[in-house]
Structure 1
Amino acid sequence: MLLALQDVTFEFGARTIVSGASWHIVPGDRVGLIGLNGTGKSTLLRIINGEYSISGGSINKIKNLSLGFFNQDLLSFESDESILSVGMMAFEKALAIEKDIERITAELEHNQTDALLHEFSDKLHEFETLDGYNMRHKTAQVLEGLGFPTAALERPYSSFSGGWRMRVLLARLILQQPDVLMLDEPTNHLDLPSIEWLEKYLINYNGAVIIVSHDRFFLDRMVNKVVELYQQELHHYSGNYSDYEVEKDLRREMQQRAYENQQEYIRQQERFIERFKAKASKAAQAQSAMKRLDKLDLVEQVDSGPSKIKINFNVDKQPGKILVTLSNVSKSFGPIEVLKNTGAEINRGDKIALIGANGKGKSTLLRIIAGTESHEGERIPGHNVVQSFYAQHQLESLHLDNEILEELKTAGSGKNEQELRTLLGCFLFQGDDVFKKIRILSGGEKARVALAKTIISQANFMLLDEPTNHLDMNSVQMLIDALDKYQGSIVLVSHDRYFVSQTANKIWEIVDGEIKEFKGTYAEWEEHKRRQAALLNPNTGNSKKDRKNKEAKETKEEAAPVKAPEPTPVAAPQKNAPIDKEAQKALQKQQRIFQQLEQDIAKQKELKLKIEAELADPGIYNDKTKFLQTEDRYKQVANDLDRLNKEYEEVFEKIMEMESNM
């Protein structure tokens, strides 16, 4: 164990962030810390980081535990050194020894004493032990992985914008290799290739990683545990974000069933008490029933959860078949050529995602489509097109002296005040928030107001530049649902792969200044790219490990729907083929293990059903200790069943591989 929170309570002013929270972090943990906006996820990371003092409980750490915390406050760091030098600050000890070596080298030119030579030898050894000779190469490798071209590594840190500075600071942090790496929205400043690089890096990271992110794809690929901060408590789940959603629904269902059963039990007892409390012969029993009710540990009703309000678009006019045609379009910024004699056509019903690395011209192309960016070539607008454009620079068009609600009224949507307030609720403006002046809002809040104005514009063609940047997962899902029903056309730029995968029916990518169109979803595009890469590199995927992974995946997909699998028979040897007796014996051993696992899984399933029946009995809630013990048994059985299923799949894969080699 690296770190343990035990019954921790923390208040921020009059507001309680966590109460009696416990959490154990062990090596290899990849934890997604989730919760609604404003619940205190970032505050909890600061508590772990030692920035705030807790009011109750304890935080225990192993000796010399190193913590790394990536967050927005890091932007206060300033430096005129190159980004390579800033990244290399991660190797603090090695850099100090390097200076010592330089000092000793200078002294040795004039004074070659034995003591100085010994010190020089010791320093060289220590520098090598710290891998100092590779620190420059490692730093360059990480910076390039996060999107910096080699030529930019010597540029001053101070010459970069905030988003690029955050990448440098992220590089420095991960190069420090802390025991516990805490990342607060690490993908916010990264483009798609950089996110994919970070995923590959973190998969092989030796320490524990805690991630706060609204990027579902990132969480699904990165985490093996989820901790939800909800109603001042920490709720623990195994698996990735998708597993969390399934398990949470199951827990809510069980809790609701337990609540309903207990309420029915309470009604029965109350009817009994009401009927017999006045009868002398039954008065003692009625009194006893009243005492049982008083001692009852009440099960809470399942809350309704986050808002499920739907966002609805209204399209005012039906456009022609073609919305915009681009022909022979070129665009340069000085010597940098972004687009070169390229063309494309946007048709009615298109929902296009424009994806790729930063600096390839995605936002520039979006502005050209909108008609707000000068360029060479032709832009031909279609008939009856009503356009609405959401981008960061649109924030400048907000009226600073308006209240949020007033600002939405200026959009001329025809919606009444209640409808507008409902819509603002989807974009995280609750209650009296709608009366805040635009002037006092943060950049993220202004962006959400601008996005809300885009939504109610009644346009039949929307251009969206990073619309999910300042939304939580619930709001992103509501936006996805709305765009799915939207009858107009869309071109969007986003690095949120889940958002793109749920909204786009076409993918555009800028390659060497040309627009490359793929007609299909993001998942289909990814598969297409994978096949293209395999064609260009025919050896890729042919290694033993790749074949094994592919076979394991196919086996898992085939085995998934099988509820009561039959034992796998031993493959019959070919006639006249030599029989490998050792291989045969090993295969039979795996089959015996396989059959035993089937029996164990069946027993565990029966036990799980039995415990579920016990939890469904209202009487169990009369005894709190018994209820908690039963609940713990249920969790243990569920964990054992999960473990057995994983072992079952592994043995099944082994059998398939052994049979194929015989």
Structure 2
Amino acid sequence: MISINDLTFLIGSRALYDEADWHIKPGERIGLIGANGTGKSTLLKIIVGEYAPSSGSISMAKDLKIGYLNQDLLSYDSHHSILHVAMEAFERQNQLHDEIEELLKTIETDYSEEVLNKLSDKQQEFEALDGYNIEYRANEILAGLGFSTADQHRPLNTFSGGWRMRVMLAKILLQTPDILLLDEPTNHMDLPSIKWLETYLMGFEGAIVIVSHDRYFLDKVVNKIVESRKGKLTPYAGNYSFYLEEKALRGEIQKGEFKNQQAKIKQEERLIERFRAKASKAKMAQSRMKALDKMERVEDVDDDNPTVNFKFKFSKPSGRHVIKVEDATKSYPNVDILENAEGLIEKGDKIALIGANGKGKSTLLRIIAGAEGFEGKVETGHNVTTTFFAQHQLESLHLGNTILEELQAFAPKHTDTELRGILGCFLFTGDDVFKKIRVLSGGEKSRVALAKSLTTDSNFLILDEPTNHLDIQSVNILIQALQQYEGTFISVSHDRYFLDNVANKIWFIEDKDIKEYPGTYAEYEEWNSKRPPAAPTTIPVKAQKEVKPKVAEEKPANQQSQLKKLNEQLQKREKEISDLETQVKEIETELADDQVYGNPAKLAEANKKYQGAKQELDKAQKVWEDLAAEIMEIEG
């Protein structure tokens, strides 16, 4: 289908690709992965002919139809409806439609056989190209990508960049190409749209090449991984999870080969050193030296998964209640976001705020951060210190600073060694820390801004799309950092792997209220899959008619009474869990004490106390989960 042979691509004196090979076969669904800066997007542009290789060749069939989605399409603008823009994919059908319309007008005055034959030929071709169904197909794909029927008749230029990107994706999918090249297709999508796209691509009959940092998306969609690394392209015959296992296995084999070769080299070097001074053995030593020079060296395995080796600390822990939202009401022109909404964030909560675009997730984060006006009240708890990370904060980085200077100015209490350790965790090593902010890519700036956020003395973090512009390696680092973070945070993200590994509570906005699920993202997904589907919504726009607020359905009096009792029991259990957690921590400290650790009798007694406290804590947490599930069942 597409054959890449001995591809070399130079940027200045640096070889982004160095005699790389890759063959894309029909029907393959490939995930093209690699760290930021390894040339993934560049490679797609080389394939479509936007860039010319420095040397090597790319061959493909002349009639191969390529559908290419890239971030540059965000700049496309049109006053036509998005349905019209999507249907531009049907170039020949649209041309035939216009010609048929003209012939129908002509036939009103000209009944000649020539005109009738032309009309018949055009109609037959139009029917053969399924022209009568193109609007239905466009409707179907746009609906899958989150557009309501009303939205489809709005002009493209009334939509934000993220929604425009979806329209361009719809147009590409409607062209039914032989191969799809998708550069970060989920970047501007909410979770429902990502799931729809997964299903669509799994049924797509052509070949697909996807550049993405979304591990779950890659696992669902692709059946092959190609890694761009050190100028080469290395294939793995499976999805992303298979790639991780296979790469680890190959790494172990390579480590063994490297170790054995190094031992052999040292042995040879010792022999050469011993015999080179002896005249009778000098020839043999010279021969061994030549053989050693010609030996093809096995490279040592680089660690592609650095670990976060420091703890994020803050001087003051917060009180039990971190944030309390009361009677929050927020609306934009003709769009109601919240109405008398309530929410409580408690110490130790790791909250994922999820939902479709346009539901008000980022608005709620700004309300909590005090950066958005609204009606109602947000009460910040005792000793709560907050840091708010959002993409716009990348603009507040000082372009003239080096990376290290940026952190020094922001976190003066940290030593340079500590700051360099933190930057190392975010993949800025060695002289990288002296790079000016102005020369960094979007992903690198995101990493600097995240490093700044995590060096603060804050015990409460508000994170709006922290995984945007991060590659898989950087997302893993952020996950490790947040897993070690002992404070409280709330985060908006569409990266399910990220959410699944950091969140212990899920928030979502529904019926203009803040709803909570007390569990992980995977548990929420299972629970949510059993709920009846929500009614479709329309994307907010000023020109829409005013949406009248729905009247909340009253709960029966006996349910209200039952809910009250259950909530009281839940609060008692929360206090009990908090006390038991403190007790467990105290015993852990006791177990680490040398006087206890070195005394078998004291150690046995402390261990017994620890096991008992842990069992009590597990029981209390199980009761709390059962109560929470019962409350959610009643609330519906």
**Residues 57/443 of structure 1: CA separation in 2 closer, same or farther (3 Å cut):** closer
**Displacement after TM superposition at 1:185 (Å):** 0.7
Which range moved further: 334-343 or 289-298? 289-298
**Residues 289/431 of structure 1: CA separation in 2 closer, same or farther (3 Å cut):** closer
| Separation in 1, partners of 2:78, 2:211 | 27
Q: Secondary structure at the match of 1:33?
A: strand
**Displacement after TM superposition at 1:349 (Å):** 0.6
**Could you say which residue in structure 2 is the equivalent of 1:345?**
344
Q: Is the 8 A contact 2:328 2:342 kept in 1?
A: yes
Q: Secondary structure at the match of 1:227?
A: strand
**Could you say which residue in structure 2 is the equivalent of 1:82?**
81
Q: Is the 8 A contact 2:28 2:207 kept in 1?
A: yes
**Could you say which residue in structure 2 is the equivalent of 1:644?**
none
| Separation in 2, partners of 1:268, 1:476 | 43
| Separation in 2, partners of 1:436, 1:295 | 38
**Could you say which residue in structure 2 is the equivalent of 1:467?**
466
| Separation in 2, partners of 1:439, 1:4 | 37
Deviations along 1:588-607, one digit per CA (max 9) or x if unpaired, are: xxxxxxxxxxxxxxxxxxxx
Q: Secondary structure at the match of 1:410?
A: helix
**Displacement after TM superposition at 1:149 (Å):** 2.3
**Could you say which residue in structure 2 is the equivalent of 1:17?**
16
**Displacement after TM superposition at 1:478 (Å):** 0.9
**Displacement after TM superposition at 1:527 (Å):** 1.5
| Separation in 1, partners of 2:90, 2:102 | 18
**Displacement after TM superposition at 1:132 (Å):** 1.4
| Separation in 1, partners of 2:63, 2:91 | 16
Q: Is the 8 A contact 1:413 1:456 kept in 2?
A: no
| Separation in 1, partners of 2:251, 2:438 | 41
**Residues 172/259 of structure 1: CA separation in 2 closer, same or farther (3 Å cut):** same
Q: Is the 8 A contact 2:69 2:185 kept in 1?
A: yes
Which amino acid in structure 1 is aligned with residue 338 of structure 2? Answer: L
Give the TM-score taking structure 2 as reference length: 0.79
Is 1:260 aligned with 2:266?
no
**Displacement after TM superposition at 1:275 (Å):** 3.9
**Could you say which residue in structure 2 is the equivalent of 1:414?**
413
Q: Is the 8 A contact 1:464 1:493 kept in 2?
A: yes
Q: Is the 8 A contact 2:324 2:378 kept in 1?
A: yes
**Displacement after TM superposition at 1:77 (Å):** 2.3
**Could you say which residue in structure 1 is the equivalent of 2:621?**
none
**Could you say which residue in structure 2 is the equivalent of 1:454?**
453
| Separation in 1, partners of 2:401, 2:290 | 59
Which amino acid in structure 2 is aligned with residue 23 of structure 1? Answer: W
Which range moved further: 323-332 or 401-410? 401-410
**Displacement after TM superposition at 1:405 (Å):** 3.6
Is 1:249 aligned with 2:248?
yes
**Displacement after TM superposition at 1:431 (Å):** 6.0
**Residues 24/106 of structure 1: CA separation in 2 closer, same or farther (3 Å cut):** same
**Could you say which residue in structure 1 is the equivalent of 2:130?**
131
Deviations along 1:26-50, one digit per CA (max 9) or x if unpaired, are: 1211111111111111111111112
**Could you say which residue in structure 1 is the equivalent of 2:5?**
6
| Percentage of pairs with the same residue | 55
**Displacement after TM superposition at 1:272 (Å):** 3.5
**Residues 365/417 of structure 1: CA separation in 2 closer, same or farther (3 Å cut):** same
Give the TM-score taking structure 1 as reference length: 0.76
| Separation in 2, partners of 1:513, 1:151 | 21
**Could you say which residue in structure 1 is the equivalent of 2:31?**
32
Is 1:59 aligned with 2:78?
no
CA RMSD of aligned residues (A): 2.5
**Displacement after TM superposition at 1:413 (Å):** 4.9
Deviations along 1:348-377, one digit per CA (max 9) or x if unpaired, are: 110000101001111111122223322233
Deviations along 1:88-117, one digit per CA (max 9) or x if unpaired, are: 111111111111111111111111111211
**Could you say which residue in structure 1 is the equivalent of 2:103?**
104
Q: Is the 8 A contact 1:413 1:458 kept in 2?
A: no
**Displacement after TM superposition at 1:316 (Å):** 1.9
Q: Is the 8 A contact 2:66 2:178 kept in 1?
A: yes
Which amino acid in structure 2 is aligned with residue 175 of structure 1? Answer: L
**Residues 507/300 of structure 1: CA separation in 2 closer, same or farther (3 Å cut):** same
**Residues 507/202 of structure 1: CA separation in 2 closer, same or farther (3 Å cut):** same
Is 1:332 aligned with 2:331?
yes
Unaligned runs of 5+ in 1: 535-662
| Separation in 1, partners of 2:276, 2:505 | 72
Q: Is the 8 A contact 2:391 2:466 kept in 1?
A: no
**Residues 309/140 of structure 1: CA separation in 2 closer, same or farther (3 Å cut):** same
**Residues 20/371 of structure 1: CA separation in 2 closer, same or farther (3 Å cut):** same
**Displacement after TM superposition at 1:189 (Å):** 0.5
Which range moved further: 421-430 or 493-502? 421-430
Q: Secondary structure at the match of 1:205?
A: coil
**Displacement after TM superposition at 1:184 (Å):** 0.7
**Residues 53/267 of structure 1: CA separation in 2 closer, same or farther (3 Å cut):** same
Unaligned runs of 5+ in 2: 534-636
**Residues 251/108 of structure 1: CA separation in 2 closer, same or farther (3 Å cut):** same
Q: Is the 8 A contact 1:87 1:168 kept in 2?
A: yes
**Displacement after TM superposition at 1:297 (Å):** 2.2
**Residues 261/441 of structure 1: CA separation in 2 closer, same or farther (3 Å cut):** closer
Which amino acid in structure 1 is aligned with residue 99 of structure 2? Answer: D
**Displacement after TM superposition at 1:453 (Å):** 2.3
**Displacement after TM superposition at 1:385 (Å):** 0.7
| Separation in 1, partners of 2:2, 2:429 | 36
| Separation in 2, partners of 1:492, 1:385 | 17
Report 1:318-397 matches (<5 A): 318-395=317-394, 397=396
